[in-house]
Amino acid sequence: MEVPANKIPTILIVGAGIGGLSFYQSVRKNLGKKFHVKIFDRETSPQDRWQGYNIFLNRKGVTSLLYCTPPEVQARLPEAIPGSTPRECHTLALTDHVGRYLLYLPHQQTKNIFEIEPLKHDFAGIVAYRNILRDVLSEGVDIQWGKKCVGYEESDDGVWALFEDGTREFGDLLIGADGINSPNIAVPKHLANKSMSIYSNSVVQESLGKNGDFHFAVFRFIPIDQSDEPTYRITLAYIYPTKFDIKDNISIDDDNPESVIKHTISRIKQLRPPCELTDLLIELFSCVPFSHLGEKYPFRTYNPPRRRQFLDVYPLSVPPWKNDRIVLLGDAAHAMNPILGLGANNALQDADLLTKELRNYENDNLVECIRRYNEQMRVRSSKDVMESRNMILDHQESVGNFGSIIPIYDSFHYLSYRAFAVEKA
């Protein structure tokens, strides 16, 4: 895979999400004129699919984001990653099934994203708005919309990306940066206050049930409107073992939002004891709309709630893939459980690492650059996949007065909800 001295190689990126856009910006910023770069996305426009859930950026993710982005993009980052409000603690609080604390991570509080990178430890982070971050990262990027990649063909001197519309594009490297779906909702002020109160103002909130179920929420205590009764956006999901649906012979219409929402509430009532936290979860999920709210809906698109199944795949059981012109980045390479909020951070680190390895292509051929990237990416991401996996699967020992937390089985349902606003009376 030697590159002729007079040829500028072309990189094709499939997927204009956080990882793909960060890598695009990084190539332009850090690799100068060494590469041409093109980016494609299967959606027909930025409004096609909901991109608005909250994501947690840790110090490593922030460091990679700042490495990848040029000054004009960095200047706009506060739009997507607002500075902390006095009410917010950007840390994780974990409780048991009735809201008693199991863990509260001691994160250093910072005023904004730019104070995080210089820190010498990893106990700091901040919650970002994914849809706005995607918009910011799109600045100056010529995204080719409506290009769903359905395959590729390798040749001796490059690779063809094949698109569903019958077109094809030739390049020297093909970067697969397609992501996976993630959850979100928004809540009225009285529920936001209640949630922040239970979790001592932590913006990453999780609880572990005694039946292998758990919920998580990622919060920003910043109003999304300026009315007398403002609403707040919160990423929310409830996960439970599949065996409960099988045992009860449950039938849910996953294409019917009302059916999914009512089923979620029934699972919470079945698996959680009566308490303030259970009441809060029921109230939150009761607010999910069944359909688009029209002009009152504060976001650009509405995706109905869905029930999804998670499967446990041991990451190191996947054999090493060939080091060639096809490169995977982000969730396309290492989809992981969302409970620790490590997915976006790994995508940003992938973009950072791949850029740094490609800086050496003039001394090493492209396949050697990709080999080093794959080797390092797989070790790092597998560690985070395992940590996220074990967070769910390994809660078997007693936790003192909090009782016992039993393990989740290797298949469970993930009830996820995207952004909505509550209609005011």
User: Picking from 58-67, 211-220, 239-248, 353-362, which range would have the lowest pLDDT averaged per residue?
Assistant: 239-248
Chain segment 87-141, per-residue pLDDT in tens: 888 988 889 999 998 888 778 888 899 999 999 888 889 999 888 899 999 999 9
Q: How many CB atoms lie within 10 A of CB 225?
A: 14
Question: Which residue blocks in 102-236 are alpha helix, DSSP H?
Answer: 130-137, 189-198
Rounded Cα gap, residues 65 and 137, in angstroms = 10
Q: Is the model's pLDDT at 170 over the cut of 90?
A: yes
Please answer whether residues 186 and 231 qualify as being in contact, where contact means their C-beta atoms are separated by less than 8 angstroms: yes
3-state secondary structure of 88: coil
pLDDT value, residue 49: 60
Is the CA virtual torsion 367, 369, 374, 376 positive or negative? positive
* pTM: predicted TM-score of the whole model, two decimal places: 0.81
pLDDT value, residue 143: 95
Question: Which residue blocks in 100-140 are alpha helix, DSSP H?
Answer: 130-137
pLDDT value, residue 408: 32
16 confidence band (pLDDT: 50, 70, 90): very high
Rounded Cα gap, residues 229 and 146, in angstroms = 39
**If you average pLDDT over residues 153-174, what whole number do you get?**
93
Chain segment 239-274, per-residue pLDDT in tens: 888 788 766 666 777 778 788 888 889 999 999 999
pLDDT value, residue 396: 38
Q: How many angstroms separate the Cα of 118 from the Cα of each of 115, 208, 283, 358, 410?
A: 6, 34, 40, 25, 39
pLDDT value, residue 304: 57
Q: Is the model's pLDDT at 48 over the cut of 70?
A: no
Chain segment 180-210, per-residue pLDDT in tens: 544 456 678 888 899 989 998 898 898 989 8
Q: Which of 237-246, 299-308, 368-377 has the highest mean predicted lDDT (pLDDT)?
A: 368-377
Rounded Cα gap, residues 372 and 381, in angstroms = 14
Of 313, 381, 302, 371, the residue nearest 346 (C-alpha):
381
pLDDT value, residue 316: 62
- Partnered with residue 307 across adjacent β-strands are 415
